[in-house]
Every structure is written in structure tokens, then in C-alpha cells.
Structure 1
Amino acid sequence: MASRLQRAIKGAVLNFQRTPAEISAAASRLIAQEKQVHDQVAAQTTPTFANTIKPLAKLENANGGEAAVISFLQNVSTDKQVRDASSEAEKSLLSSRMASMMRADVYKSVKQVLDNKEELAKLDSEDQALVESMARQYRRNGLGLSNEQRAKLEEIKKRLIDLGVEFSRNTNEKDGEALFTRQELDGLPEDYFCDRPVRLHNGVKKYVVTTKYPDMVPIMQMAKSEDTRRLMLQAEETRCPENIALLQEAVKLRLEAARLMGYKTHAEFMLEVNMAKTPQNVLEFENDLRERLDVLADAEIKEIEKLKRADMEAAGQPFKGLFSWDFRYYSNLVKEHKHNVSEELVKQYFPVEQVTRGILDIYQNILRLRFDKVPDPPVWHPDVAMYEVWEADGSEFLGHIYLDLFPRPGKYGHACVNPIRNGYEKEDGTREHPVAAILANFPKPTSTAPALLTHDDVITLLHEMGHLLHHICIQTKWAHFGLDSVQHDFIECPSQLFENWGWEPSVLQKFAVHYKTGEPIPQQLVERLVAAKNEGAGLFNLRQVFFGMFDMAIHNTTDANVDIRSTYMKLREQITRFHGSSNRECCGAATFGHMMGGYDAGYYGYLWAKSFSADMYATRFESAIEDPRTGMDYRRHILHPGGSVDAAAGLEKFLGRNPNNAAFLKSIGLEQ
């Protein structure tokens, strides 16, 4: 049956049904193939693009998808043995890749090609970029160090791989849990309790609540009891205590590696290849934005404090300040009071199937694409939807996308896009097509209602779909220049651009329909929702500044023993303006996956890139939000190149000038 299905689907379909033994065998096979190619490259007596660079690039083309699949399964499989095997395979693959990238004999051959300016000049621009990128990768992996220093660096990198895999496994596997009575959950809507597990605790019936987003977020937004919100946040911030030590060790090792490479800090090393270039530029950006946002936050804090003081007075309790578990709850109350926007009312107009189709339609119209849903697809879980992506006129197949939108035990716990296979040109001139998946944790359907999304969930889906389509629309010769090669402080820009469509009334009214009646969302409700867009923008964006400043505090330091826990708690209180928990075991850094998932010294990129996305939207899209001509310009200059060109060059071509942050500041309620 599976083979017939796969023959009916356009393009080469990846196999996600793997046993632990098959995963292990695949990893071993890939490692052996990698060694064979690297040995051949190292043996070249007269290195050229054809006998050195091309074989290395073809290896990435051929093996990248298979390696990604067996690593991906740790995030999605329902079988713990498969997830464990996937984690171990990833460690082996990353260790092998790291060792290969530190081979002096291979680098010698690559460097000779780079230094042959006459041959380099004959290559096209992407091939030239490939040579330069490969040489830079080898250099940044310690080639040029002494044998002793390189051996030490290799030891550090191997340990960092182990730490990253273990951190990720802990956050995926160890959900927090809390038990509450119905009274303790006062404020939550009736559908929150539909199909919710109950448990007797000391003879009292209590509802089981996990730290998965659909359980936790409504409590933080709507539970009237401060104790309930506090205990819920505590369950989240204490569920992986061992991760603090893992991150602490990683920070120390990253600094040691940077020093071996001749840099003062890890951030200095990481930022060298980003748009920001230096830690000083990042800190100036964050501090300038913080000062501007503090002005907004001053007024927002007064509104929130007024509401909490009134609650405390009504309950006959003293006001003790604002705490981290108050942020979402009182921000939500302000929206309701000032704009009459109820999340419970709004979500009735966002059933997940209609929203998904509506968002796909947005991308179809603007980017001139077509999405065909695959019936009975060969996937890793029944909840997963699979689509073929085509040019709108059907002239060209572009790739496969997967949507895995609901939580389950052992699954990755946040929202992200996993690039699984990069596109590239095959030897016969045809293309191998890219594959990617969205992993999210939206509320699941219940016995009485379909899956309903909050407006925040809709924005998240627009964002992640932006990453997905960036990956699918990359049109490079080599897989080397796929999504993961895009400069890290630009990579969020294309996904953030499409968040804007979630605030356009004409767009929302096309796909937001009541899940019972099918009636479109009322215009007045949309107007109130849009009017509330920047409510709390100061505090919300200060929270992003905090994450970026924490990242820089632990990665732009010469102190190898910087205290992760105290730094996190201190900066959160200083920047976000809310007190933290007095419980010493609480620390959000334990589940801050970005710090071990590739965003180290890079979290600032979310706000950095947002200034570019706001500029692109205001300049090219806002006056013609569904203009496919603008969309095709966007594909050509921003999406197609992947990481093969500097992001700044594509931005300048698309905008017709250098970018600026005026539109971004205006979009969050600030004027220059």
C-alpha cells in the first residue's frame, strides 16, 4: 500500500517509518560514505573545483535528507525507542561531521582551490560562493590551529554536541504537570475542561494540567487565582533542572573554544559572519530599543498595576507587586477592558482547518504557488498533513511540506520549522525537491468542538509558514545553500514579514469563520482586534529584549563561570519589570531551547530581523497586500538565493535602497 501511495505522490517521498536498528544502520552508512569522500578529496595532488569542492557538495546533496530524517524522528516519533535511537544517531552524525570539518588534509585541498584565483574567476557566482563558504567553515572549525589546539577544540565540540542533544531530549521528554480543582481554575472557559483528565488527590477531584502550550497558556492568560498561575509557571520552570548545568557547561566550553580560535568571547566568534558583525553593534541595538520601549512600558505597567491592586483590594489581600506569572493575565485583561477583545470569542472564528487553508491561500496568491493536500499520506503520525507545492500554473513541482500541529507526549514542545531536505540540481539537470515540516503545539480538537486557534496561534502559524515557504522557494544549485545557511540575524525576517497579514482586516475576513455557524468574523470584532494590536507592545518587546540580553550576557563575557540562573533571574526582573519567583529551583533558562538549539549569541536576531520585515512590508506590500508582482519580486530577491548571497544585497534590491528601522518603530507604536 505504501509503495502505491508513494508512486502517486509527485517527487521523491522520504521514509519516516524507521526502526531503531534501521536508524543506527543508516547513521553508520552515512558516516562511512562521508569518510570515503573526504579521503578522496584529501588524496588529490592537484585540487580543483571538480575533484575537490564538487564531491564535497554532492555529498551534502545526496546525504543531507537522509541524515535529517533520522535526526528529525527524535522530535516527532511516538515510540520512545525510536526517539532515543534518533538522538544517539544525531550525536554520531554530528560528531562525524565535526571531525570531518576539522581534517587538515581536506582543508589543504579546499584552500588550494580557494587560492587558485585564475580557476576561481572562471566559476559562476554560486560556485565561487560555495568555495568561499566551505573554506570559511573549515577555518572556523580550527583549521589553522596547531595540532594540539585542534585536538582540544575537537574534544570541546564533541562535548557540546552531547550537551545539546541531552538538553533537547530533556525538554521533549519531561513535561511538567500540576493538579488543580475547578475552583482553582476559575476564569477558564468550559471547553478547557472538555476531555481533560482528572485524578483523585487526597480524596479531592483535580484536573491534570501539563506544561504543553494548549494547557499552560490559557491558565497564564485567564486563571483568576494568582496562586494557580504561580504554580503553573513553577511547573514549567522546574521541569528540567538538570538543563541548567548542561547550559552552564556549554557556555564555559563555548568561551574556551572561542579563545582557542583567537576571539575574546563566543559572541565575537559567532557574530563575525552575521549581518550585525560585532557584539557592540548588537548591544547598541538592544540598549537603544530598550530605552525606547521603556517609555511605552511605563504607561503599560501603571495600567496593569491598577488592575492588580483592585483585585487584591477586593480579595482583602495586600498588593505585593507584579510578578512574572501576572504578565499574560493582566495584559489580557487590559485588552478586554480597553478594546472589548475576548480571546475566547475570537478563537471561535479560527477553526484550524479553515485557518490553515486560508493561510495557504495567502501564500498562494502572493507568491504564485499552489498547495495540493495529499490524501492518506505516508507520515509519522495520523495528525500530520502533507502537501505538494507547485507553481500556481502547474508548470513546476517545488517540494513537499508537512504540518504537525498538535501536542503529544515526547514531541517537540514549541513551534518551529524543520528543514528536512534541501533542494538542489541533480547531475541530469533536473531538481531534487526540498522537504520541510512545521512542528507546533496548538489546542487539539475535543469531543464537542474542532481545534480552535487563538489569534496569537494564527500569527504563529503565519510565521512558521513563512519559514516553510522560504525553504521551499530556495532555488540554488547546491544543497549547501539551504535555509540553515541563511545569515542567522536575517533568517527570521521572511517569516516575520507574513505575520503582517494576520492583522489585515480584508485578509482575516476571508478565512475567519465561526466554527458552528460558518459566519465570517464580524467586521467590528476585527476592528477591535486590530486596534488592540499594539496593546502591551512595550512590555512584550521588552521581553524579547530580555531574552536577547540574557543571551549576550552569557555569551559575550570573558567569565567562564557566569552564573546562568542568577543572570537569568536578575535580567528578567530588570528588563521585563516583573518580579521573579523566590523559589530557587525556578529558572526559565532550563527550557530556553534556543540557547542549545543554534541561537547562541543569536537571539537578538528576532528583533534585528523584524526591522527589515517591517520595512519590506511598509515599502512594498502594505499598499498592495495581495499583489503577486510584488510577491514574485520577493521570491526572486529574498527567497530564491537562500544563503548563497549576503542578505543585505537582496534587501537592497527588493527595497530599492538600504533598509531602515522607521517602519518597525512605527509598527510597535514608536516614532523616531
Structure 2
Amino acid sequence: MASRAQGLLKGAVLNFARSPRDIQATVSSIISRGKQVQDQVAKQIKPTFANTIAPLAKFENNNGADTSIAIFLQNVSTDKSVRDASSEAEQQLSSFRIESLMREDVYKSVRAVLDNKAEMEALEPEDRLLVQKMEEEYRRNGLALSQGQRKQLGDIRMRLSELSIKFSRSINEKDGRILFTRQELDGLSEDYFDGRPTEIENGIEKFIVTTKYPDLVPVMQMAKSEQTRKSLMIVSESRCPENIAILEEAVRLRAQAAQLLGYRTHAEFVLEQNMAKTPQKVLDFEHDLRKKLDVLADKEIKEIETLKRADKAAAGEPYDGLFSWDFRFYSNMVKERRHKVSDEETRQYFPMKRVTRGILDIYQNMLGLRFAKIDNAPVWHSDVEMYEIWEANNESQFVGHFYLDLHPRDGKYNHACVNPIRACFARSDGTREYPVAVMLANFPKPTSSAPALLTHDDALTLLHEFGHVFHHICAETKWSRFQLDSVQMDFIEAPSQMLESWGWEPSVLRQFAVHYKTGEPIPEDLIKRTVAAKNEGAGLFNLRQVFFGLFDMAIHNTADGVVDVRSLYKKLREQTTRFSAGDTDTCGAATFGHMMGGYDAGYYGYLWAKVYSSDMYQSRFLKDGVDNPRTGMDYRYEILRPGGCRDAAVSLERFLGRGPSSNAFLESIGLALEK
């Protein structure tokens, strides 16, 4: 993987250096141009694809990158005024989109094209789908309703947009913090304290621990003190209390909007466009899986209870049950004791730079691409890296760019995700626009004594998020509308989940796992122990995912949308995951960003997609060889390239050579199949 100087940058490089004034000017320009296009479309006496559909779609094509950047900066900028301007930009652009989708005059023109059977039959398949999806989007936004109902729906959508932005901003801006003594953090490795800021409290020097993942996860996994783990969990789940009321209002409004549109619940409205189609099918899936997982969880719970009882007895304290702050700690302890593998040991062999290069090599070989890192690139922070993408078999064929922003900082988005910034689409002159994607993550930073070191789970996260990056990069559609964001919600995670499987392959781990000091490759014994631990705790881990999915459906599959989020979250978590919240008065739903970030009535999709990802991996890659280039190209062309311009079921069948099966997933987590 080569490195290139900035002067050799290929393609139209995006400008992320935007002031608040620049952001506002961009937003005003987009809205002005959009209204002009819509007004022109609405005036058409004889609407056609060329004078109605194409202008609307070209506006989306040509303004997508500016729209994305204006909204994206709230997640990464170190300047609060820029983050504020970006949040305001999202509100304005969201409001404009809602207003646009409520324009009856534009809808009539779009509908006229759809009703012209002769023209529809003459269109190319993607153009025909574009007309159908445009009309569907207007209709699902109330254009078939009376004027009064449309006004009511528009007001609801506007308010939902405001609530979503407030919810997300609260999570980004309100990191929790707590002070602990060294003794209270007993069990943490020495490098956890290297460079960690301290503060004097009552004359005692204490370490500052935040709720960002690199701080929180190690404490929840390794701190021996139950009170320490409990205190940190309380801080983490109490830091955005205002978000409970925001979520409850959003749930009520979503239910009202769904009923205005003729659906019984919000879940029915959402699922109509997904592979699952109905809430009942989702609930059947979740409950059936829960029954199967309970078999694994029963054994796992007994082992964890034994460990905690022993700890309590040694401390001379009565056993009082298992709590949510025990889950990571004792699950990690079981893994360490049974398989003699710990995050502290494996981290020594996962220096971040080496792991990242190794994972990029995997994707290069699999997808027939070549990456070049850009030196001194124009980026928004010194931590950020920028890469060019080229076709491996054609030195002159440029593909696009991606950026990596992988370390935590104040005000930054505090989970892991991929932002599609610019879509690939066909320009009017026949050339293609170059796609751009950004990966955001919060992996540990280098310390004074060691480079940034990853856990094995971190490496799996990198593999997963790169899957989203290249799903976006490799999609080749005529219209930007059919890129990553239009892939069905209950399939969109499948390609990324499939790529996590590479992180369990011994031959793959040998490619990038080396000791950060000596450069020695990861020992074969450690590989065997790591792989052997793969399904440790699979029952409880996946039950946690089932809980999130059931909570999502519980709040979004009600007719009136009136729910007590706090009590429902606590009740379902205890019933499903087997771990109690004890006497704490917190609510993790306040930081459950998926519920206000586009996964409403869709969180089940993580496990639903896992069925497909396991099938793709075992049936093709494991069978053909994980480094088989032909299988990799089949994956690129049949799964990634179509984007959202065809049903995921079609893509799956073409890649698998048959319909999907759940057997591979059940086997992958250690569940024996019924004969």
C-alpha cells in the first residue's frame, strides 16, 4: 500500500474547512436551488422522465456532498461554533426536505410519469425504479392525504427532526466523567494510567475516567471493585436524562404519523419496505432466537454466578445476584480462565497502525482495489488519514477516497460509524462521480510508552466498519439515491458483519498481528486460544442484542405510542439479558442513539442480517477460501455494486446460488441444529 504526496491528489477533493458562515451559505444555496428545480418540475404541462424525474434526481446527485459535509461537521469539528452551525444546518435541511416531500404540485408531476405506462415500460430498470421510489416516498409522506392531514403530518415530521438532532447532540456533547483512586481501579493494566489526567479531590489524587469507550470498556471488563463498575455505569446511563422525554415524545409522534398514513403502528410503516415486511415476522424471529439462545445462556449464567459467589464469599459478603455492571467483568473472567486469553495479552499483538494496514490489504485483495495514503492531506483534524482508491488491474482507473478518524476527542461522535459523504453516480457526460466515505471510531490513542494498541474486539470493529466503507465505495448506480443509505435496513449490516469473520481466521491474523515492541508474529498458541474463545458468552451477548430489538419493537409497535421508556427498558433488559439494574435509577435508553438515528423499528436488523452474513461467509468464502479472488469479485459485483437499486434477496440469491438459510448462523454461535 503506497503513500502519495498531497500534490498528486486525484479526483475532486472535498473541502471540510467550513466556517459557520460557509455552512449557512451552503445551506441557503442548496435550498434555493432545490426550490427552483421543484418549481420548474411543478410547471410541466406534460410531465416526462426527462423533464420531471431526471431534474429532481440530478439535484440529489449534484448537492449530496455539500449536504453531507454541512451535517457531518457536527460530529468531528473541534470548534463548537462549527458544530453548532452544523446542527442548525441539519435542522434547516431536514425542514426543507420535509417541506419538499409535502409539495402536492411536484407529486402530481411525479405521479403522472408513473401513470404513463408506455413511458414506464420504455425506461431502463434503474430509471423505472427511480420513478417508483420517488412516488412511493411522496405517498409515504402524506401526499395522498387531505390538505389538513398533510399539514398535521408535516408538523409532526418537523418536530421529529428537531428531536432527533437534540437527542444526538446531547449524546455527543455530554460525556460523563468520574474520579477514581488507583486502588478503586485495581485490575486495570498499567498503560491504562499512562498519560491519564488526574484531579485532586479532598486532598487525594484521583484519575479521571470518562464514558468514552476507550475509558469505559476496560473498567467494566477488568476493574475488580464492583462499586467502581457500578458507579461508572450509573454515570454512563445518567448523562443525558433529557433524552428520555425526547424519545417518549418521538415515539408518540411516530405513532400518530403512522396512523395518519393508514398504518396501525410505526413499526408497520417502517417494516413495509424492509425484508421482514411485518412486525409479527420480526417478533417471531426475536422470540424464536431468544428461546434458542436461552439454552446457551443457562449454562453461561451458572458459570458467572459461581464466580461471583466465590468473590462475595472471599470478601465476606452475601451473594446478592447478577447486575448489569457484572456482565462484562465476569464474561471476560470466564474467557480468561477457560481459554487463558485476555485483552491485555492480545493487545500487545494488535498495534493499530499495523492492524489497519493489514485489514486494508485484505480489502484490496478481496475487492481488486489498490489504496494509497495521502501525505499532508487536507483534513479536519491532525488525527485523520486520507486515502485514494484505484482499480488494482488498471493503474489509471481512479475509484474514490476514504478518510479514517479513529481516536476520541472532545465533542466528537463517540461510537463507531461510517458516513457516506459523496455518492458514486453517472454524470451527464457519461463519466462517473467519485465516491467518498468517512469512518469515525474511538480507539485508544498512543501513550508515551506504547503506540495505539487494539483489543481483538477493536480489530473486529475495524473490519466491520471498513465493510460499510467499501459497500459505499463499490456501489455503482446511475443515481445517488440508490447508494448505501437506500439498502434495506435489515440487510445493510450483513456485508460488514460477514467481514468480521476474517478476524477469526488464523491465516488472516498472521498477516497483521505482531508484537508492538519486538515485531514477533502472534504466537500460534495465542491464535488457537483466541479462536477457541470465539463463542464464549455467545448466548448472553446475543440475548443483549435481542433485548435491544425487543425494546425497539415494544416502543414502536403500539397503536398510541404512549410508553414509559424508563420502566420498559429496565423490565425488558432484566427479563431478557438476565442481569438486574438493582437499585439504580438510570436508563440506558437515553444514550441508545439508534432509536433517534434511523434504526427506529429496525434494530432487529443486526441479528436478522447476521443470518445472511453467516450464510455468505460459510457458503462461499469459507468453502472457496477466504483469499479466493474470484469469490471476492463475485461479492463485490453481486452484493456491493447494486447498492439499493435491487432487492437484497435478489443479490443474496445471485451470490449464494440459492435462497438464504439460517443454519450457518446457528452453527456459528455454537447452537446444534435439530435433526
TM class by shorter-chain length? Answer: over 0.9
* Alignment partners' CA distance in 1, 2:212 and 2:429: 47
The answer to whether the 8 Å contact 2:419/2:437 transfers is yes
Aligned position for 1:239: 239
- 2:627: which partner in 1? 626
**Is the Cα contact below 8 Å between 2:6 and 2:374 reproduced in 1?**
no
Task: State the distance in 2 between where 1:508 and 1:55 align.
Answer: 49
* Shift of residue 6, structure 1, vs aligned partner: 6.5
Q: Distance in 2 between matches of 1:582 and 1:41?
A: 60
Contact 1:179 1:206 in 2 (8 A): yes
Shift of residue 665 of structure 1? 0.4
Structure 2: 5+ residue stretches without partners: none
Q: Structure 1, residues 490-543: CA drift from partner, whole Å, max 9, x if none? A: 000110010000000000011000000000100110000000000000000000
| Equivalent residue number for residue 309 of structure 1 | 309
- 1-side partners of 2:471 and 2:561: how far apart? 37
Quote the Cα distance in structure 1 between the aligned partners of 2:606 and 2:39.
40
After superposition, the C-alpha distances for 1:441-462 in whole angstroms (9 at most, x for unaligned) are 0011111100000000000010
**Are 1:262 and 2:262 matched, yes or no?**
yes
Q: Compute the TM-score of the two structures, normalised by the length of structure 1.
A: 0.99
- In structure 1, runs of 5+ residues without a counterpart are none
Q: For 2:391 and 2:98, locate their aligned partners in 1 and report how far apart those are by CA, in whole Å.
A: 37
Cα distance, 1:560 vs structure 2: 2.5
Report SS of the residue matched to 2:143: coil
Is 1:294 equivalent to 2:294 in the alignment? yes
Distance 1:553 1:86 in 2: 33
* CA distance in 2: counterparts of 1:569 and 1:243, whole angstroms: 16
Name the counterpart of 1:21: 21
Q: What are the superposed Cα offsets for residues 318-345 of structure 1, whole Å, 9 maximum, x if unpaired?
A: 1100000000000000001000001101
CA, structure 1 residues 99+273, in 2 after alignment: closer, same or farther (shift >3 Å)?
A: same
Match of 1:203 in 2: 203
Match of 1:494 in 2: 495
Partner SS for 1:208: strand
Are 1:465 and 2:474 counterparts?
Answer: no
- Match status 1:478 vs 2:479: yes
Give CA deviations for 1:75-109 in whole Å, capped at 9, x if unaligned: 00000000000000010001101110111110100
Aligned pair 1:55/2:31, yes or no? no
Alignment of 1:336-485 (within 5 A): 336-393=336-393, 394-485=395-486
The one-character-per-residue Cα deviations of 1:214-267 (angstroms, maximum 9, x if unpaired) are 000000000000000000111100010001111010000000000100100000
> Is contact 1:167-1:246 (8 Å) kept?
yes
Q: Residues 483-562 of structure 1 correspond to what in structure 2 (within 5 A)? A: 483-562=484-563
Q: What displacement does 1:559 show? A: 3.5
Deviations 1:588-623 (A, max 9, x none): 000000000000000000000010010011110003
C-alpha distance after superposition, 1:288-347 (max 9, x if no partner)? 000000000000000000000000000011110000000000000000100000110101
For 2:252 and 2:560, the matched residues in 1 are separated by 8
Conserved 8 A contact 1:414-1:441:
yes
Amino acid corresponding to residue 659 of structure 1 in structure 2: P
CA distance in 2, matches of 1:99, 1:634: 39
Q: Distance in 2 between matches of 1:101 and 1:14?
A: 28
Q: Distance in 2 between matches of 1:47 and 1:447?
A: 66
Partners of 2:391 and 2:545 in 1: how far apart? 36
Q: Are the aligned partners of 1:5 and 1:378 in contact in 2 as well (CA < 8 Å)?
A: no
Aligned partners of 2:213 and 2:442 also within 8 Å: yes
Q: Give the deviation of 1:7 after TM superposition.
A: 5.6
Other structure's SS at 1:386 match: strand
Kindly provide the amino acid, as one letter, of the partner of residue 431 in structure 1.
R
Aligned residues: 668
Given that 1:370 and 1:391 are in contact with CA atoms closer than 8 Å, whether structure 2 keeps it comes out as yes
TM-score, length-scaled by structure 2 = 0.98
- State the partner residue of 2:664: 663
State the percentage of identical aligned residues: 67
What's the counterpart of residue 578 of structure 1? 579
3-state SS in 2 of match to 1:184: coil
**Number of the residue aligned with 1:64:** 64
Displacement of 1:397: 1.1
Report the Cα distance in structure 1 between the residues aligned to 2:240 and 2:552, rounded to whole angstroms: 19
Instruction: Give the RMSD, CA atoms, in angstroms.
Output: 0.9
After TM superposition, the structure 1 stretch with the greater mean CA deviation from structure 2, 539-548 or 97-106, is 97-106
Shift of 1:395: 4.3
Give the superposition deviation at 1:5.
7.5
Contact 2:256/2:560 (8 A) holds in 1: no
Query: Given that residues 5 and 374 in structure 2 are in contact (C-alpha distance below 8 angstroms), is that contact kept between their aligned partners in structure 1?
Result: no
Aligned residue type for 2:458? D
Residue 127 of structure 2: SS of its match in structure 1? Answer: helix
Deviation at 1:422, TM superposition (A): 0.6
Map of 1:265-280 to 2, 5 A cutoff? 265-280=265-280
Residue 248 (structure 1) aligned with residue 260 (structure 2):
no
Question: Match of 2:363, as an amino acid?
Answer: Y
1:283 aligns with 2:274: no
Counterpart AA for 1:68: S
Measured in 2, the distance between the counterparts of 1:315 and 1:174 equals 36
8 Å contact kept, 1:662–1:671? no
Does the 8 A contact of 1:184 with 1:228 survive in 2? Answer: yes
Task: Tell me the CA shift for residue 641 of structure 1.
Answer: 0.6
Q: Deviations over 1:30-69 (max 9, x none)?
A: 0111111001111101000000000001000000110000
Q: Which runs of 4+ in 1 moved over 2 A?
A: 4-8
1:145 partnered with 2:159:
no
Separation (CA, whole Å) in 1 of partners of 2:212 and 2:241: 17
Q: How far apart are the structure 1 equivalents of 2:357 and 2:533?
A: 25
The AA in structure 1 aligned to 2:190 is: E
